[in-house]
Amino acid sequence: MDLRLIAAVNAGKVAGVAARQLRRGGGTALPGLVAERADPGVARKLGRQLGGGRVLVTGTNGKTTTSRMLARMLAEAGVPYLHNREGSNLMRGIASALLGASGKCGAIHGGAGMVGLFETDEATLPPAARALAPRAIAFTNLFRDQLDRYGEVDTVAGLWREALAVTPKDATLVLNADDPSVAELALDWPGPVHWFGLEDAALGTEAAGAFDARWCRACGGAFDYDLRYFAHIGRWRCRRCGRARPAPDSRASNVRLELDSAGFAIDGLGDVSTPLTGVYNVYNALAAVALARVIGLPPEAIVAGLQHVQAAFGRQEVATLEGRQVRLLLCKNPAGANQVIQLLGTIGRLAERELRVAVLLNDRFADGQDVSWTWDVDFGCSPGRWTPRGPGATGRRTWHCV
């Protein structure tokens, strides 16, 4: 009997109840935070009870949606799982999700048959990998994020290599073959890799936005592209050493983007569809499919999971506001925003009507107070003209596109 763990679990549970009663929010992070203070090993001790293995999903963009897609696939397959769905993707959020499933004695009921699915913040990957000894880690992509969070992409790439150094070497890396910054993780990985990628020349574009990856880590050479989908994502090759985009194990082709859905073909699964549109969601679907294959989910569950997934907060969520239908498209960095603008252009063309667009800029602490990243957003490729409206108060400035 681990008295320290039991004390930590109960302290965390009490903190969660108190936070909910005080309506302070934070119910998804506080229990974990309190429990970790009482026993820093709480995530490790609880997480390793999940006998179906632990799966981590990280990357700059798409980790929430990818995790939700995989969760839905697990549900369709009837595999019990634990997911930090509601909350924080830092260690405290992961610990909170584990606490929520634990009994007062520090045991997760039915844990032996359960898969742990953890959306993991990029900088949290080293402690998460150390604590959870994952059986698979998916890396969606690596872009510049809000600058005041982690600095440049090299910092994050360094943290990821640090995480891989403590990850069990029989774990499978699920890597985006089209992102050279993600692909380079395979350079020093001795274990298995499952690659995913997009093969659809029709989606290539000249106006792909700024590069967030410039130099080959193996030799320092620059990248050439046969095809670019957005930012530095595409069919790349190093000019100097010839290292090139690997052939994907899970590939999507024949992509059809609609207003409320995306359809595409995946090798071995045939034609699939998902209610989330945009090329970036095709990538999220691919990452989820690749992970599902690595953990051995049946094809029918994978296809059904893609079909039945629901949008997370702000991710193409549809809300009704004063009788009008409002579609929320969350973006947190230049690459994500450029993707959303490209998508608006596609939707405008498909719907053949004028779109009313408002850009709402949040500079609160959680999403980064430095909003200078918006300067790198390519508003010029949007379908209309942007004019500032409103009082222009910090955090409440809006642009309308007509």
Is 219 or 259 the residue whose CB approaches Zn ion more closely? 219
Interface residue with Zn ion among 14, 105, 165, 219 (CB under 5 A) is 219
Q: How far is the CB of 255 from Zn ion (least distance, A)?
A: 29
Per CB under 5 A, which region of 155-163, 208-216, 260-268, 376-384 contacts Zn ion?
Answer: 208-216
Is 218 or 361 the residue whose CB approaches Zn ion more closely? 218
Is 240 or 385 the residue whose CB approaches Zn ion more closely? 240
Dist CA 287 CA 176 (whole Å) = 8
For the chain, the C-alpha Rg in angstroms (whole number) is: 21
Per CB under 5 A, which region of 72-80, 212-220, 260-268, 363-371 contacts Zn ion?
Answer: 212-220
CA distances from 211 to 144, 186, 324 (A): 10, 21, 37
Cα 320 from chain centre: 26
Q: How far is the CB of 153 from Zn ion (least distance, A)?
A: 17
Interface residue with Zn ion among 94, 132, 171, 238 (CB under 5 A) is 238
Is 241 or 351 the residue whose CB approaches Zn ion more closely? 241
Interface residue with Zn ion among 174, 203, 216, 288 (CB under 5 A) is 216
Is 230 or 236 the residue whose CB approaches Zn ion more closely? 236
Q: Identify the bridge partners of residue 236 per DSSP, sorted by sequence position.
A: 225
Per CB under 5 A, which region of 12-20, 53-61, 75-83, 210-218 contacts Zn ion?
Answer: 210-218
Residue 22, token pair as written in the block? 């005080």
Q: Going residue by residue from 315 to 344, which x/- string records binding to Zn ion, judged by CB under 5 A?
A: ------------------------------
Alpha-carbon dihedral angle through residues 334, 339, 345, 348, given to the nearest 10 degrees: -120
140 close to 287: Cβ distance less than 8 angstroms: yes
Q: How far is the CB of 183 from Zn ion (least distance, A)?
A: 11
Per CB under 5 A, which region of 25-33, 233-241, 278-286, 313-321 contacts Zn ion?
Answer: 233-241
Q: How far is the CB of 217 from Zn ion (least distance, A)?
A: 8
The count of residues interacting with Zn ion (CB under 5 A) is 8
Is 48 or 237 the residue whose CB approaches Zn ion more closely? 237
Q: How far is the CB of 228 from Zn ion (least distance, A)?
A: 18
* Cβ-Cβ contacts under 8 Å for 74 (sequence gap 6 or more): 80, 81, 115, 117, 292, 297, 301, 305
Dist CA 367 CA 333 (whole Å) = 10
Is 22 or 241 the residue whose CB approaches Zn ion more closely? 241
Q: Going residue by residue from 239 to 268, which x/- string records binding to Zn ion, judged by CB under 5 A?
A: -xx-x-------------------------
363 close to 369: Cβ distance less than 8 angstroms: yes
If we measure between CA atoms, which residue out of 125, 121, 135, 127 comes closest to residue 50? 135
Q: How far is the CB of 192 from Zn ion (least distance, A)?
A: 23
Per CB under 5 A, which region of 55-63, 129-137, 232-240, 323-331 contacts Zn ion?
Answer: 232-240
Active site residue 178: no
Residue 201: its H or E element = none
* Residue found by looking up tokens 């082709």 in the block: 253
141 close to 79: Cβ distance less than 8 angstroms: no
By the rule CB under 5 A, 218 interacts with Zn ion = yes
Q: Which of these is catalytic: 145, 370, 376, 378? A: 370
* Cβ-Cβ contacts under 8 Å for 6 (sequence gap 6 or more): 104, 105, 106
Interface residue with Zn ion among 221, 275, 298, 345 (CB under 5 A) is 221
Strands 136-139 and 54-58: parallel
By the rule CB under 5 A, 183 interacts with Zn ion = no
Per CB under 5 A, which region of 86-94, 213-221, 280-288, 348-356 contacts Zn ion?
Answer: 213-221
Is 224 or 300 the residue whose CB approaches Zn ion more closely? 224
* Cβ-Cβ contacts under 8 Å for 193 (sequence gap 6 or more): 172, 173, 174, 175, 186
Residue 61: its H or E element = none
CA distances from 248 to 59, 174, 378 (A): 18, 10, 30
Dist CA 250 CA 236 (whole Å) = 18
Q: How far is the CB of 221 from Zn ion (least distance, A)?
A: 4
Strands 315-321 and 324-329: antiparallel
The SS3 of residue 379 is: helix
Q: How far is the CB of 215 from Zn ion (least distance, A)?
A: 8
Q: Which residues bind Zn ion (CB under 5 A)?
A: 216, 218-219, 221, 238, 240-241, 243
- Any idea which residues carry the catalytic annotation? 370
